[in-house]
Each structure stands twice: as C-alpha cells, then as structure tokens.
Structure 1
Amino acid sequence: MQLATIIRILGVLLMLFSFTMLAPFAVSLWYGDSAMTAFGAAYLLILISGFILWLPFRGHRRELRVRDGFLIVVLFWTVLGASGAVPLMLADNPGMSLTDAMFESISGLTTTGATVITGIDSLPKSILFYRQQLQWMGGMGIIVLAVAILPMLGIGGMQLYRAETPGPMKDSKLTARISETAKTLWYIYVWLTVACALAYWLAGMDLFDAICHSFSTIAIGGFSTHDASMGYFDSALIDYIAIFFMVVAGVNFSLHFVTFRSVSLGHYWRDPELKTYLMILGATSALVIGALSFTNVYDGEMDTFRHALFQTVSMATTTGFATQNFSAWPIYLPALLIFVSFVGGCAGSTGGGMKVIRILLLFKQGMREIRRLIHPNGVFLIKIGGSPLPDRILEAVWGFFAAYVLLFAIMMVMLMATGLDQVTSFSAVAAALNNLGPGLGSVAAHYGEINDFSKWILSFAMLMGRLEIFTLLVLFTPTFWKS
C-alpha cells in the first residue's frame, strides 16, 4: 500500500476541488448575496488542507496498484463530501448543521438529489448554483475528471478509472490512453450540458435557471432551484426537453462517443442494453399512462400523457425531478415508480440504480436456468451483442445483486429501528441506494424531518450506490489490508 503516494494524491485532489468554490463565489459577487464570505472561507480552508496533505509527500511518485486506487476513490468521496459541506455550514442561509450539510453535500455529489432544505426559492443564488454544481461534477465522476488532469502532475490514473467507472464491464476504453478517455467523456458531457441549457433558455427559463437545471438534468441529479422542482415552470415544452435529455443522459456515454466519432446512429440500434433501456421506459410509461387515464387524475389526455411520461422517465433514470406529487397518485403507481428506479440507467451513464445491463444479464441467466431444467445436458451460452460472456461476469453480477439486496434489507431495518415507518424506510433506502432522491411517506417532499442517525445511514447508502457497493465494501475485508 503506497500510503505516502495516496496522501499526496488526496492533497492534490483537494486543492483542485477548492477551486470549484470560486464559481459560486463569483455568482455571489454578481448577485450581491450573503454567501460570499462562506465560499471564500471554504476555498481557503479546503486549499490549505489539501496543501498540508500534499507538502510532506510531494516527492513520492510511485505507480499506483489496484488496491491503492480503491482506497483513493473511497477516501476522496468521503473527504469530498465533508469538504462540500463546508460552505453550507458557514453560510447564514441555509445555516445547516453538520449532519444536514453532509447529507446535502453527499446527495449532490452522488447525484442523488435528496434534500433536507425547505424554502429553496428563498436561498441565495450562489447557494442554489453551488448545489447544482455539486451534482454536475458528480455526474460523470470527479475521479474521471481528475484522471484527465492528474497525468500532467505525474500521477497515473488507470486504477482510479477502474474503481470509479460505473457498470459491470469496467475495463473497456474508448481511446488508447486513459487520460484521453476521460477527456473525451467530459467533452461529450460538457456539450450535452450546453445544448440542454440552450434548449431550456429558448423554452422560457431565465438564463440562471436554464444553466442550473441543465447541470442537474445531464447529471441525472434532480436538484432544482425551486421547491416545486420542474413543476414551477408549468411548461409542456420544458417538460419534454427535460424528458429528452434525461433519456440521453441515461445512455452509456461510450455509445455517444462511438456515434459521434463514426457519424452514424447504427451503434445505438445495435446495442442490446439501449434496447432494453428504451423498452423498460416505454412499458413503464404505458402502465402509468393507463392507470392515470383509468382513474381520471387529470382532465385532459395530453396532461395525462405529459405528466405520466415525465415522472416515469425521471424516476426510471433516477433523476428525481418532479412536475407533480407522484406519491399521491392512486393504486400501484408510487410503488411501481420506486421499483423501476432499481433498474436505473445504462452502464457508463450518469444514472444510478443497478444498471440496465445487470438486469438484462440476470434475466438471461434466469432464462438459461429454465432451459437447463428442460434440457439438463444442454450447453447454453449467454450472449450480449452476439458475443458470449464469460461466467466470471455473470458471477460478478449475481454477487452484486446479492450484496445489493442484503445491504438494502439491513439499512431498511436500521431505519425502522429509529422509529420510521415501513413505507418511509423502504422508499428512503431505495432512493438513497439507487441515487434517486424523492421517496414516499415522510420523505416524499424532503428529508429534513427524519432523525440525524437515519440521515447518516442514508448518506452511507448514497455513497454505496454511487460507488456500486463493492468499491466501498472491499475496504472492510481483511484481505484488502494484507500486504
């Protein structure tokens, strides 16, 4: 374990992160709000902390191993969550406690979108911008961004990329060098953000709201600058723009890259994960539209279609935006939308959940077991895109699924032990572990009224979901720490 090198890298990453405080500081300066001092102090505090960590070990430049990469990723997200909470605690408005500030910061960085804040409309503009910025940075993964920068500082990045990139197949690269891969992904990410902001602005949002909501849309985050979320704008055009970009952001960014490079849409149509992703969105939307029409929740067919499609896409992609209070919808709909968030977006997207590719592989494995019952001596291969998959990947998917279910059950019971009811506990853990945001029961609108211990459990669940469980769990095994 290269502890000296790890501490040095952590110091560098913290110093880099400190510069993100300058953007909300500039927003505060522009609007003349009260949070300017908080962001200035946070910038200096984080910068100095990173410098103190870096200085004693600045000469250590050893190659990272896989174990080092896992430890750096977990340390960085944990320390970053604490660092991101600093301006939220220092600012007079919202003036948050340590627990609430950590919850809000981790929720933003993991693109969960769960909030403890009420009265969002009255927050300073700089705080509003900062919350959206946290989600935007966390969307593609701050470690991936760092991988593009750290080679210039003499730090290799392949181990970090393996630990951070979401999805079951983590070793595929778009370009020969990992730094070029990270840069390419971020170019696509930035251009999608710009396109989304322009579309929102042309549809009627003011420039500030357009930029802020483009951050959380492309990041599949769900934070908004208004308590009513996207419902504040009451615009069908804005809703359909959001639907389009949420769907796009839920697609594997490798597909976006390959399509852009080849100037051909054929890669989209041939990708089995994307087909499954669109089928799930379509089937769930049809169920929600049918149920809302049957129960006459809305007067017009177009309103029914619009709200059903928006809320389905928002929940299925784990974005968490809202135009309506879906928790008040009748019959099975609230539970259905929570359950569909377990699937989430595609691997390599900014979405949360278990990822579509894993669900597809679990389904194929189940069908193979059924065929084996009929033909015990048969040999059946599981293929994705015409290529057979090794059993090692299938075993990893089953292991992930088992760990996901077990951890979900444990955290749900722990929340219930604090006094929360079953519906609140179930939906809160689902919303945190799937990086979704909104839940049911006491957390349908916000998480401000639940107890502090539950907030810490959910903060841990958000990190577990963002790092896809094993990246964090591996640190708790004795084998990891053996030399």
Structure 2
Amino acid sequence: MNYSILKYILGYVLKIEAAFMLLPCVTSLIYHEEEGRYFFLVACVCMLLGVLMTYRKPKNTVFYLKEGCLATSLSWIILSLFGAIPFWISGEIPQWENALFETISGFTTTGATVLSNVEGLSHTALIWRSFTHWIGGMGVLVFLLAILPLSGGSSINLMRAESPGPSVGKLVPKVRYTAMILYTIYFGMTVIEFIFLLAGKMPVFDALTTAFGTAGTGGFGIKNDSIMGYSPYIQWVVAIFMILFGINFNFYFYILYRHFRKAISMEEIHYYLAMILIAVTIIFLNVRTMYPTGFEAMTHSVFQVASLATSTGFSTTDFDLWPQTSQTILIIVMFVGACAGSTGGGIKVSRIVIMFKTVLKELNSYIHPKSVRKINVEGKPVDHEVVRSINVFFITFMIIFSLSVFAISFEDEDLVTNFTAVLTTINNMGPGLSKVGPTQNFGHFNVFSKLVLMFDMLAGRLELFPLLILFHPAIWKDSFESHRKKKQKA
C-alpha cells in the first residue's frame, strides 16, 4: 500500500476545497454578510493542512486500483467533513449531523435536504450549498487529474474509482487530457445554461445556483418551492439541460471532434431518450386532467421525468399527489437513472441494458443449448468481466438497499417514506414520496437514520465499492503491518 501517495492526494484535495471556498467568501463581500468569515477560516485551515501534506512529493507516485478506491472514498469523506464546518460554526445549520447531511447531500449531488426553510439561509451559505453540487457532479478527483500530473497509467485508477458507469476509459491517450476535456465540456455547458436562464429574466444569483444544481444533477433549490415559482420558459430550460447533463459525456466529445457516427451509434443514449419519452407520454396521459391546460401538464411531466431520471431532484409540482401509475413510473426511472459517464445517478442505463441482454442470452441458451451467443452493445461484444462486474454491482446494490430500508424501519415511519428515502439517497435523487416528498424534507429522521442515509449517499455516488473497501479487514491489516515494520526499522 502506497500511503505516501494517499497522503499527497488528500492534501491536494484539501487545497482544492480551500480554493473552492473562495466563492462563498466573495459572495459574502458582495451581499455584505458576515458568514463569509467562517468559510475563510475553514479555507485557511484546509490550505494549511493541504500544504503540510503535499510539502514533499512522494518518491513512488505509482498506485493501483486499491489505492485509487481508498483515495477516492477518503477524499469524499474529508471534503464533506470540512465542507460542513462553515454551516455548523456559523449557526446556519446548528446541529452537526444536519450540517454534515446537507453537505454530503450536496457533494454527492443527491439534493436531499434537512431544511424546512431554505430561504432563511444567507446568500453565502446558499452559493456554497449549490456549488457543492457542481464540484461533486464531475468529481473533485477528475478536477485534480486535470491540474496535477501523476505517474504513468496510475491516474486512470482514480478516474475509475470516482467516475460513474460499468467501465471507464480514456478519451485521449493521456488521462490528464481526458480530465481536462471532460471539465471543459462540463464548464461550457454550465455557462450556456446560465446564459439561457438569464435570457429568461432570472436573477443572476438564482441563475448561477440553478445552473450549478442542474449541471451536477443535484437539485438544491434556493427557494422553498424549488423551481415551482419560476416561469414555464425557465422550467423548460432546466428540464432540457437536466436531460443533456444525463447523457454520457463521451457523446459531446465525439460531437466536438466531429466523430458524428460514433456519437449517433451510442446505444445507451437511444435507450435513455426512449425511456424518458415513454415515461413522459404515460405520465402526461395520466395527469392531464389534473392541470388547467395540456401545456402545463406536459411541462410538469417532462420536468419531473427529466429531474428524477437524471437524479437531479428539482420539482415544479407536488408529484406526491399524482396517481399511483405516475408515481410508479417515477420510481422506475429513479432506479434506472441516467447514462454512464454523465453527472446523473441511478443504476445507469447501460447496466440495465446489459442485464436485460444477459437475461435474453440465458433464455436463448435454454431453447438452443448448443448455441454460442455473445452480448453485443453498439455492435461490439461485451467482455465477460464487464458482465460479471455488473451482476455483482446489482447484487451489492440490492443488499445495501434492503439493509438500509430495514435499518431505518426502526424509526417506525411508513413503508413508502422509508423505501423512497433509501431509494433517493442511494441513487442520489433528492425527493422521494410521502414524508420525504418534494414539499417535505429529511429533517424528521433521527441521528442513526441520517447516518444510514449519509452512507447511502456516499455509496451511491462512488458506485458502492470504493466506499465499501474501507470496511474490508485486509485494508486495515495491511496498514497495521506497514506501521509495525516501520517501527521495527526505527
């Protein structure tokens, strides 16, 4: 285990967080708010610790997937812990567990909140709350890779550990340039949405925070009614960009570099858009009579499907009041989620497609036992290792999901509340149904339940295994053995 490179990476993560905290500091100066001093204080502490941890560059900068998973999970935990401190010490979110819940929800782009009055927060807190979505959307370690050259092929292990999807590859030969391309696309799309929102006469602060929330598919709103109070134009802009941010970013890379055939042939995107279209059609027909006009019904149908399919969590209506058919459709798209390689959450469309094709292959083997068939995606055979990893992922996902529902059931909430609370946190969605619906929040859960849901948010964002590896005995055994050998040499 290369502990020196782990310390080095974590040190840079702290320095990046310190730099990111300058945005709320500047915001506090613009709006003449005192809360900025708490962010500045924490930023100074992060920078000091980061400098001390990166003072000496490790001699051995090579690391493997094990170190990549550890660095990723520890980075997200450290980000959340330090990111929550300003909320806590400023008194804006006075309970530590609530401040931590809100921050983890932000960084993991979940959007589940414990706050009943969001509008009571300062502009400083609101900008940080929404900015955590933007940071977590593409991933802080992807940002780190874009600015920090690491040894050889080791960098891909960080990207694999943090990026969503069954498989992660390089767009160009060097991982650093891949990270730079991804963040350039991400930043560019965020700016374009911001401009469109301004064109709809949305206030600058509102447009910026909304763009952050949409880009990271996070869903923290700055109004108590989320996006309900804005014009239909703004609602459609947000809905369209939620769908766009749910698309695999490889698609945008192919478009930029004029590889149009590759872009058009991306099978996952076809299924993703088809899922949205079918879900919108069914829900529109189901809720049409609940709204004065067909346009309003279509607006809410498109917006809520886009919001929950991409795990964003913004809302324009209380879908907890919709018929059971519509709610069932929303729960299905919550499970499926967006495309791999996007900022969206969920199991991912590509995994669902491959699992369906695996079932069909098994059925065919019963009918034609001697036939040899391969699972193909985009005309190429899927490696057996990818199929195996998807099956293991799904089994692990269902185990964690079931145990989490059981764990929070001791609080004696209704089943719909518990089921959708876990569903929305592990899939990084935000609002659920019943007592965690779009007009409710997660503040009523006790500390133990909040800890379970915080674990689910981190596990869901990191695709389960980078976080689970922290609980593997071998990791701590290696650490103990390494420490013992060092003491013997000393």
Regarding TM over 0.5, the answer is yes
Given residue 147 of structure 1, which amino acid in structure 2 is its aligned partner? L
CA-CA distance at 1:138 after TM superposition: 0.4
Distance 1:377 1:480 in 2: 44
CA contact (8 A) 1:276 1:356 kept: yes
CA contact (8 A) 1:317 1:344 kept: yes
CA-CA distance at 1:152 after TM superposition: 7.6
Q: Name the residue aligned to 2:10.
A: 10
CA contact (8 A) 1:268 1:274 kept: no
CA-CA distance at 1:266 after TM superposition: 3.7
Given residue 207 of structure 1, which amino acid in structure 2 is its aligned partner? V
What's the CA shift string for 1:289-309, capped at 9, x where partnerless? Answer: 11112xx21121111111111
Given residue 101 of structure 2, which amino acid in structure 1 is its aligned partner? F
Which of 451, 465, 470 in structure 2 is aligned with 1:470? 465
Range with greater deviation from structure 2 (135-144 or 464-473): 464-473
Which of 448, 451, 476 in structure 2 is aligned with 1:456? 451
Q: Does 1:283 find its partner at 2:299?
A: no
CA contact (8 A) 1:8 1:60 kept: no
Given residue 191 of structure 1, which amino acid in structure 2 is its aligned partner? G
CA-CA distance at 1:200 after TM superposition: 0.6
CA-CA distance at 1:209 after TM superposition: 0.8
Which of 176, 185, 188 in structure 2 is aligned with 1:188? 185
Q: Name the residue aligned to 1:109.
A: 107
Distance 1:52 1:195 in 2: 38
Q: Name the residue aligned to 2:253.
A: 257
Secondary structure, in 3 states, of the residue corresponding to 2:49? helix
CA-CA distance at 1:349 after TM superposition: 0.2
Distance 1:231 1:179 in 2: 40
Distance 2:153 2:47 in 1: 19
CA-CA distance at 1:95 after TM superposition: 3.2
CA contact (8 A) 2:166 2:390 kept: yes
Q: Name the residue aligned to 1:66.
A: 65
Given residue 394 of structure 1, which amino acid in structure 2 is its aligned partner? V
> Structure 2 matches for 1:67-466, cutoff 5 A?
67-92=66-91, 94-151=92-149, 157-170=155-168, 172-233=169-230, 235-262=231-258, 265-293=260-288, 296-444=289-437, 445-466=440-461
Range with greater deviation from structure 2 (61-70 or 224-233): 61-70
Secondary structure, in 3 states, of the residue corresponding to 2:431? coil
CA contact (8 A) 1:147 1:156 kept: no
Distance 1:89 1:257 in 2: 40
CA-CA distance at 1:457 after TM superposition: 0.6
Distance 2:336 2:263 in 1: 19
CA-CA distance at 1:218 after TM superposition: 1.2
Given residue 429 of structure 1, which amino acid in structure 2 is its aligned partner? V
Secondary structure, in 3 states, of the residue corresponding to 1:229? coil
Secondary structure, in 3 states, of the residue corresponding to 1:24? helix
Secondary structure, in 3 states, of the residue corresponding to 1:349? coil
CA-CA distance at 1:66 after TM superposition: 2.0
What's the CA shift string for 1:276-319, capped at 9, x where partnerless? Answer: 001110111111111112xx211211111111111111111111
CA contact (8 A) 2:64 2:154 kept: no
Distance 1:103 1:112 in 2: 10
CA contact (8 A) 1:15 1:47 kept: yes
CA-CA distance at 1:336 after TM superposition: 2.5
CA-CA distance at 1:15 after TM superposition: 1.8
Q: Does 1:45 find its partner at 2:45?
A: yes
Distance 2:167 2:64 in 1: 19
Distance 1:2 1:156 in 2: 12
Distance 1:36 1:62 in 2: 37
CA contact (8 A) 2:13 2:79 kept: no
Identity %: 34
Given residue 85 of structure 1, which amino acid in structure 2 is its aligned partner? A
Cα 1:260–1:378, aligned 2, differ >3 Å: closer, same or farther?
A: same
Q: Name the residue aligned to 2:483.
A: none
Given residue 179 of structure 1, which amino acid in structure 2 is its aligned partner? R
Distance 1:237 1:95 in 2: 33
Given residue 194 of structure 1, which amino acid in structure 2 is its aligned partner? V
CA contact (8 A) 1:167 1:347 kept: yes
Secondary structure, in 3 states, of the residue corresponding to 2:149? helix
Where structure 1 has 5 or more consecutive residues not aligned to the other structure, the ranges are none
CA-CA distance at 1:424 after TM superposition: 1.0
Cα 1:62–1:301, aligned 2, differ >3 Å: closer, same or farther?
A: closer
Aligned length: 476
What's the CA shift string for 1:144-177, capped at 9, x where partnerless? Answer: 001111218999622211211211112x211111
Cα 1:474–1:152, aligned 2, differ >3 Å: closer, same or farther?
A: closer
> Structure 2 matches for 1:17-36, cutoff 5 A?
17-36=17-36
CA contact (8 A) 1:61 1:155 kept: no
CA-CA distance at 1:8 after TM superposition: 2.5
Range with greater deviation from structure 2 (327-336 or 311-320): 327-336
Q: CA RMSD in A?
A: 1.8
CA-CA distance at 1:215 after TM superposition: 0.8
CA contact (8 A) 2:182 2:249 kept: yes
